[in-house]
Amino acid sequence: MEVIITRDYDEMSWVAAQIIRRQLIRKPDSVLGLATGSTPLGTYKEMIRMHREEGLDFSKVTTFNLDEYLGLPPTHPQSYHHFMQENLFKHINIHPGRIFIPNGMAEDIDSHCRWYEEQIKKAGGIDLQLLGIGSDGHIAFNEPGSSLGSRTRLKTLTESTIRDNARFFERAEDVPHFAITMGVGTIFEAREILLIAGGEEKAAVCAEFIEGPVTARVTASMLQLHPIVKVVLDEAAASQLKQAGYYCWVQQQKQKLVGMPSQVSFLRRPVSKK
């Protein structure tokens, strides 16, 4: 795992967008796995800016979202379909036929989940998977206790996730209790993984999944076993890491390799001169 500690939320978002940009330049027809929630909003904003101002091209990109609430139609303002449309897709030149999000209204959920997995395979697998992390350690909606080999399926949300996500809904009672989510096993098959987290409320769980044991209690900890993972944190989210000094040292040392093939420094976002 490569842990990149950034100054603040904006720098975290900039670094994440740079990693995605680099992937699209390397492979314009990349398959991206995407997340919703508050954390990736800044990353999506920066991707939109790069599309508008630098011509970053999404015309050949395919995307797979991690999850969708059960029972919410795509037009529902709190559905993840709506979130993605509003916060990314309608602002970039992605082909609508190459956007995949689980269908929260699927009649036969099991066969829909199997279909979703097949579409990922048909697309050639996910090249780069963007993730957030829940305060209970979940990735996608793989709540504590989820099988570390799990595939796309229906999941019951924990009470703490329902409470966390109530901020997006008018009333706490409106938060769905179920979601269709990629499994930990599905996510683990992505060629590269990029997890972002910001804020003090994520500090304890970040220390657990990065430096604690691999356990189904914190499904993000499974990422320790993946060969290519970048974790981009702001200082607050990194504040309980025991090895923070070492992670910063690694980033400083890597500066010396800039210019060598495949080495890119994400250490510091250029500060705009206004």
Q: What is the smallest separation between the CB atom of 13 and ligand F6R, expressed in angstroms? A: 12
Smaller CB separation from ligand F6R, 139 or 222:
139
Which residue lies nearer to ligand F6R by CB, 37 or 104? 37
Between residues 79 and 251, which has the closer beta carbon with respect to ligand F6R? Answer: 79
Which of 109, 113, 63, 121 is CA-nearest to residue 89?
Answer: 63
Residue 61 vs 251, nearer CB to ligand F6R: 61
* Residue 121 neighbours by CB distance under 10 Å: 9
Report the residue number, 5 or 180, with the smaller CB distance to ligand F6R.
180
As measured in angstroms, the least distance from the Cβ of 118 to ligand F6R is 21
Amino acid at 216: A
- Residues making contact with ligand F6R (CB under 6 A): 35-39, 66-67, 132-134, 138-141
- Minimum CB separation of residue 214 from ligand F6R in Å reads 18
Smallest gap from residue 36 Cβ to ligand F6R (A): 4
Instruction: Tell me how far, at minimum, the Cβ of 120 lies from ligand F6R, in Å.
Output: 15
- The residues that are catalytic are 67, 136, 138, 143
